[in-house]
Amino acid sequence: MAKVTFNEERCKGCGLCVNACPKHILALEKEKINQKGYHPAVMLDQDACIACAFCATMCPDTVITVEK
């Protein structure tokens, strides 16, 4: 099973990872705001993740780690 983790405090909420996910299981947090004032990205369904790492590749701030 894949494990995807986010460094939420470094995320600037650009949404590139959300758009890159082929399974559509990433989203920007609607209620939580990090210390920088952004809505960070979150995983909606960890079990559906196929560990393609498109999200981590697209992230300009390298806040996503994908473990297979």
CA 58 to chain centre: 10
What pLDDT score does 15 carry?
97
Q: Tell me the pTM.
A: 0.90
Q: Which fold has domain 3-67?
A: Alpha-Beta Plaits (3.30.70)
Delimit the domains of the chain by residue range: 3-67
Reported confidence tier of residue 68, pLDDT bands at 50, 70, 90: confident
Residue-wise pLDDT tens digits, 5-43: 999 999 999 999 999 999 999 999 999 999 999 999 999
* Residue 15 near residue 40 (C-beta atoms within 8 A): no
The span from the CA of 37 to the CA of 51, in Å, is 28
